[in-house]
Amino acid sequence: MNILFRYTARQNLFLLASVLCLGVGIYLLADVFENLERFIAADAGFLTAITYFAVKIPMIISQILPAVFLLACIVQIRLMANNKELIALGAGGISPLVIVKYFMIISCIWGVIQFAFSDYLGIKGENLARKILTEDVKGLSASQKTITGVWFTEGDYIVHIQEARPMLKEGVGFSAYQLSADKNHIENIILADSFVTQKDFWLLKNARITNTKNYSIKEEPSFQIALKQTLSAFVVAQSKKTFSQYSFGELGATIKRLKNSGSNVEALKTSWHNKLAYAASLLVMGLLALSISLSGKNMYICLGQGLICIFLLYSFNAFASSLGAKGGLTPILAAWLPNLSFGVLSCLWLYQAFFRTK
């Protein structure tokens, strides 16, 4: 690690920390205006409110880090240009590609940090903040969380659940359609007022089994059905939280369980790929910063161009993710297409900037 890289990394850290503090402050200020009244109305303590806002900081950092990195790099490179540092480096025989290489290395480091914040610290903090807001402010417990309108398949059964409480492992409005061995027709229709999930079976209460061959109806006060599906997997799919607020491992495990039950997992797969793509977007932001800064001379115009690029990239990412969730694009393409598109454009822009300076 030479002196130039240490100098570049140290200056980048200082500028990024400055812009990051400003961005986090704006986010927290907006959150204070939105939720402070709730804490006052619920008579929550001062420490509870401070904890709520403090634990949200890691998730905020993970969300705004790519944009902050782009702006910080633009400021850094323009300062180096205005102070004649780039000219001095060129006169000393140091290729501009060395600067590009150093910024790409710094981008990779910040990408790893962003993924760590997003996948661990941010998730932990967001879950704690949601728990404080739900239980301490709104007075709701985790056991009251419900899911509705669930469909899944397991073995010979197609199952529909009207409403369930996964934490209590119980629900109401159970319907199951048992298929024949050749899967061509329905043999039995099983209805139940309520149910309780066990490890190796589900226990139905007040069950009614209708045989479709002779239309005979059999009523059972309790009936065991061979289902092992856990309801916790469907909590992710129906949660009010965005999929990005679940960890990389949680999304992967949920995709596997829901895929085996026949559920649509396109939205979950898109979010899973987005976890990696969003961290990798730091590389794209680094290329964009170099392209903008080396092709322009006015820092304020460069910052304006950077803000436009941030808006376009985020809009493209939201549009592609929406298509991926709805099946319009494959999940991997929906997640990575914005990065690939802007990465190619920024490389061409950077090449043009180098060509112009020669």
Residue 233 pLDDT grade (very low, low, confident, very high; cuts 50, 70, 90)? low
Q: φ and ψ at 176, to 5 degrees? A: -140, 140
In this prediction the pTM is 0.73
**Is the pLDDT reported for residue 50 higher than 70?**
yes
- Per-position b or e across 33-66, b if 16+ CB within 10 A of its CB: eebeeebeeeebeeeebebbbebbbbbbbbbbbb
CB atoms within 10 A of CB 157: 18
Out of 89-103, 257-271, 332-346, pick the least confident. 257-271
Question: Higher model confidence: residue 184 or residue 16?
Answer: 16
C-alpha to C-alpha distance for 259 and 161, rounded to whole angstroms: 18
Query: In the block, which residue shows the tokens 């409005």?
Result: 173
pLDDT (tens digit, 9 = 90+) per residue, 201-227?
Answer: 899 998 999 988 888 888 888 998 888
Cβ contacts of 86-93, under 8 Å, gap ≥ 24: 89/4
Instruction: Please list the alpha-helical segments (H only) found in the chain.
Output: 3-41, 46-55, 57-82, 85-91, 96-116, 122-131, 232-238, 248-260, 266-295, 299-326, 331-357
What residue segments make up the domains of the chain, in order of their start? 3-139+267-357, 144-232
pLDDT (tens digit, 9 = 90+) per residue, 275-321?
Answer: 999 999 999 999 999 999 988 888 999 999 999 999 999 999 999 98
Amino acid 140: pLDDT: 53
pLDDT (tens digit, 9 = 90+) per residue, 161-212?
Answer: 988 888 788 889 999 998 888 778 888 899 999 999 888 889 999 899 998 8
Sheet-wide strand order for 170-179: 147-154, 157-165, 170-179, 186-197, 202-211, 217-225
Q: Are 293 and 302 a contacting pair, CB within 8 Å?
A: yes
